Structure 1
């Protein structure tokens, strides 16, 4: 039971900061916040993503490219140009690495207004940090695992961030239904999206990319949006008025 709780906790905490901080804040600036809370969210993203920490600048630039070139050959992770999800993940990783290492100069429209903390970026992206988190995950399983099959979950911990991204990018542009004609192949994979915290409402999101609520119809519930509303009410963040 301890292992299951740990796995579920890691899944949702990592996913929450990916959608809340990397996606909705770093990429789209759906809300504003002060430097203290920005730094807090930055650190929590590093801690919760652990060995699969994603650099906010690299993530934001690549995601902005994705919106600009959705499901075309310039899209850094459209599933319609790859034989399987693993090929897409490898290509996405290469694109991400180019931005992380600043080996590629992005278009001017994709730059700017992105949170950066070079120290955390350096530590979080270092092999030492990734290995250290991996050792901690394995140690936790050695202490608390009660069944052999539990150890099969360990690789998911190692690659939690990329796995979340792969699920969203592959399923959200291949399977499901569309509320809007966006000129791409984005889909709402499911009418309820708790397991991916609203990220699989891709068709809605591509229609209104800066809207904080990813749901569009009454039954499409984005579980992160109420959390953001509470944080707005508490003055931790300020949602952009046009997209409340």
Structure 2
């Protein structure tokens, strides 16, 4: 029971910080945060993603490129140019490292308004941090795993951040239905996206990239949007503009 709870908790915490902080905030600036909450969610992202921490600046650059070049050869992670999801992930990783380590500057249109905290980024992207988190995951399984099959969940903890991105980009541009003609292959994979917290409403999102509500039809439920409404009501976040 402890292993299942730990896995589910890690899955959704890592996914939440990716969609809320890395995607909706760092990439699109759908809302603003004061200094305290900015640091809070930055640290939460580090803890939530752990061994697979993704630098917000690098994530934002690549995501902006994804929107600009959606499903073309310049798209960093379109599934339509790879034989399988693993090739897509490997290609994405190679490009991500370039921007994580600042080896190359992106085109001017993708620069600026980055979410940055150099101390946390330095820790989060260090091999030491990744190893320590990995050791902690293994230790938890050593203590609480009571059946052999529970160990099958362990590898996912090491790649949780990139895994979520791969699922969204592969499934969200291959499988499902479309509400809008976006001149790409984006899809809404499922009308109720609880498993990926709304990220699989890719067709809706590509039509309205700055809208914090990824669901557009009455039956499409984006689980993160109500949370954002509550955070807005509590004045933790402030929406950038009227939502579409």
**TM-score above 0.5, yes or no:** yes
Contact 1:30 1:243 in 2 (8 A): no
- Runs (4+) of structure 1 exceeding 2 A deviation are none
Match of 1:214 in 2: 214
Match of 2:233 in 1: 233
Match of 1:44 in 2: 44
Distance (Å, rounded) in 1 between the aligned partners of 2:242 and 2:30: 10
Distance (Å, rounded) in 1 between the aligned partners of 2:146 and 2:109: 51
Aligned positions of 1:44-193 closer than 5 A: 44-193=44-193
Shift of 1:240: 2.1
Matched residue SS, 1:155: helix
Distance (Å, rounded) in 2 between the aligned partners of 1:181 and 1:115: 31
Distance (Å, rounded) in 2 between the aligned partners of 1:240 and 1:129: 34
TM (norm. structure 1) is: 0.99
Distance (Å, rounded) in 1 between the aligned partners of 2:103 and 2:114: 18
Matched residue SS, 1:77: coil
Distance (Å, rounded) in 1 between the aligned partners of 2:110 and 2:117: 18
Match of 2:24 in 1: 24
Q: What runs of 5+ residues in structure 1 fail to find an aligned partner?
A: none
Distance (Å, rounded) in 2 between the aligned partners of 1:64 and 1:35: 24
Contact 1:85 1:166 in 2 (8 A): yes
Match of 1:243 in 2: 243
Shift of 1:152: 1.0
Distance (Å, rounded) in 2 between the aligned partners of 1:197 and 1:9: 13
Distance (Å, rounded) in 2 between the aligned partners of 1:68 and 1:74: 9
Give a deviation string over 1:154-192, Cα, whole Å, max 9, x none: 110000000000000000000000000000000000111
Distance (Å, rounded) in 1 between the aligned partners of 2:47 and 2:207: 32
Distance (Å, rounded) in 1 between the aligned partners of 2:225 and 2:124: 27
Number of equivalent positions: 244
TM (norm. structure 2) is: 0.99
Matched residue SS, 2:199: coil
Shift of 1:55: 0.1
